[in-house]
Copies of this chain bind each other. A is one copy, B any other.
Amino acid sequence: MSGPQTPEPALGIQGDAPTGARDEDAADGIQHSHRMLSFSDALLSIIATVMILPVTHTEISPEQFDKSIQKLLATRIAVYLMTFLIVTVAWAAHTRLFQVVGKIDDTLALLNLACMMTITFLPFTFSLMVTFPEVPLGIFLFCMCVITIGAVQSYLLMATVIFLPYVSKVSSWCKGRLVGPQEPPAHSMEFFTFDLHEPLSKERVEAFSDGVYAIVATLLILDICEDNVPDPRDVKEKFHGSLVAALSVYGPHFLAYFGSFATVGLLWFAHHSLFLHIRKATQSMGLLNTLSLAFVGGLPLAYQQTSAFVRQPHDELESVRVSCAIIFLASIFQFAIWTTALLHEGETLQPSARFGGREHAFMFAKLALYPCASLLAFASTCFLSRFSTAIFHLMQIAVPFAFLLLRLLVRLGLALLCAMRGLAQPATQAEEDAHAPLLPAAC
């Protein structure tokens, strides 16, 4: 049942000195699992977002845009969203598992790698399942993967949580018999606390989100580096040797890339600011975060479409609207994390971000910026449909500057609010508020 090395961790009982403990553990083949977890997070976030590639690479030309292409695109988007959710569920199970398994040894690290390899195979089986709904092979492979992952994870759980205490007891009993009486190994039980109702590990939610943001931000550069270097022969023949003219053909691609990177980067920035003020991530916040990330993964699709403006100018209204909708959904779910956190602000938020806290208004503005901007852009395309591209580019340029000046703008806004209130009801308690914290107490 257990591998050739699982009895090893039993040795970990010896090293208990406060200073040398870490090295002693490492020496015995037991390791704190921090780095393995961040590697797993990086892998899982890449796997979760990988299925957006077939969507972005679906060639849509105005002549061919018939039912079959529409169906193909819809299928691929569905595959992407489902894969994202499935991999996130696998990630959540992994997180739970390693909230229980505090320390690892080499066998567990290798088994974790095997588990990761099986999970990377999930998107493929799922896409097979959807492409051939009538053939049972896809479902069979998918189930095999899930069973393998489950088996490896439950093996990890059993090997460490259920059997290990006994193994270590037996081995220490044997040692006691051979060498002489020792102090009781209460330490080994301490490694593995079993509490499935505790909130998600905030660090791992952050690491997984970071991975998704990083891979999404760079997905378009993958294509650009490969396809958008013009062919020397083409440059000579078509553009009379002018490299600038040849590159200007790819202009929209670069614009799309920078737009995509800026949007993903700023959404990451908002996420980063938000989690800086969060103490604990509850289950519902984790779910909202997943939904937000799923739409963030759709951003390359949005910008792929804006890069197609040149080829199909008639569809630009539609593309701009789709882009605005994706940005809106990605950012509104971030905003929802914040409002959910506010519901239990005593547990989930740092004091400064709560109602009346110093940073409350500022956080609110930071998270509301993208939903408002995208909603505004969407609405204005309805009235000014002829200028939709201009509106979209204006939004892209304006939002980063708004982020830079946000702290200033919020102060100005609050001061204005105060002034208006002060006109309505003359100030009487100005004296008391002089020593109160900065922002909300300004009026």
Closest-by-CB residue of B relative to A258 is B117
Interface string of A29-43 (1 = CB under 8 A from B): 101000110110011
Interface string of A80-109 (1 = CB under 8 A from B): 000000000000000000000000001101
In the docked arrangement, what's the CA distance between A35 and B205, Å? 12
Partner of A4, one of B135, B357, B405: B405
**Nearest-CB distance from A203 to chain B (Å)?**
9
A304 CB-CB contact with B under 8 Å: no
Contact indicator B27/A132 (Cβ below 8 Å): no
In the docked arrangement, what's the CA distance between A107 and B273, Å? 12
Closest-by-CB residue of B relative to A31 is B276
A147 CB-CB contact with B under 8 Å: no
Interface string of A186-220 (1 = CB under 8 A from B): 00000000000000000000110011011101100
A18-64 with Cβ < 8 A to chain B: 20, 23-24, 26-27, 29, 31, 35-36, 38-39, 42-43, 46-47, 50-51, 53-54, 57
Contact indicator A269/B229 (Cβ below 8 Å): no
A257-276 with Cβ < 8 A to chain B: 258, 261-262, 265-266, 268-269, 272-273, 275-276
Name which of A31, A50, A54 has the most chain B CB atoms within 10 A of its CB. Answer: A50
Given A8-B407, A351-B23, A407-B8, do A222 and B50 touch, yes or no (CB 8 Å)?
yes
A3 CB-CB contact with B under 8 Å: yes
Closest-by-CB residue of B relative to A351 is B23
Contact indicator B229/A272 (Cβ below 8 Å): no
**Nearest-CB distance from A55 to chain B (Å)?**
10
Interface string of A332-354 (1 = CB under 8 A from B): 00000000000000000011110
Residues of chain B within 8 A of A265, CB atoms compared: 113, 116-117
Partner of A261, one of B24, B107, B117: B117
Partner of A53, one of B35, B39, B222, B406: B222
**Nearest-CB distance from A335 to chain B (Å)?**
18
Given A106-B273, A110-B403, A218-B47, do A27 and B262 touch, yes or no (CB 8 Å)?
no
In the docked arrangement, what's the CA distance between A131 and B247, Å? 13
A214-269 with Cβ < 8 A to chain B: 214-215, 217-218, 221-222, 224-226, 228-230, 232, 235, 243-244, 247, 258, 261-262, 265-266, 268-269
A1 CB-CB contact with B under 8 Å: no
In the docked arrangement, what's the CA distance between A217 and B261, Å? 23
B-binding segment of A122-130, A314-322, A424-432 = A122-130
A154 CB-CB contact with B under 8 Å: no
Contact indicator B137/A217 (Cβ below 8 Å): no
Contact indicator A214/B277 (Cβ below 8 Å): no
In the docked arrangement, what's the CA distance between A268 and B35, Å? 11
In the docked arrangement, what's the CA distance between A243 and B127, Å? 13
Residues of chain B within 8 A of A232, CB atoms compared: 131-132
Contact indicator B222/A131 (Cβ below 8 Å): no
In the docked arrangement, what's the CA distance between A16 and B350, Å? 16
**Nearest-CB distance from A239 to chain B (Å)?**
11
A358 CB-CB contact with B under 8 Å: yes
Given A35-B206, A243-B132, A258-B117, do A27 and B214 touch, yes or no (CB 8 Å)?
no
Contact indicator B357/A106 (Cβ below 8 Å): no
Contact indicator A350/B47 (Cβ below 8 Å): no
Partner of A106, one of B46, B261, B407: B407
Partner of A400, one of B53, B110, B137, B215: B110
Q: List 11 A-B contacts (CB under 8 A).
A: A3-B404, A4-B404, A26-B352, A46-B214, A47-B218, A57-B226, A109-B269, A109-B272, A135-B243, A138-B243, A215-B215
- Enumerate the 3 nearest inter-chain pairs by beta-carbon distance, A residue then B residue, closest first: A27-B352, A42-B214, A113-B265
Given A5-B407, A124-B221, A132-B235, 18 more contacts at CB 8 Å?
Answer: A3-B404, A8-B407, A24-B352, A39-B210, A46-B218, A47-B218, A53-B222, A54-B226, A110-B269, A113-B262, A117-B265, A124-B224, A124-B225, A124-B228, A124-B229, A127-B229, A131-B229, A132-B243
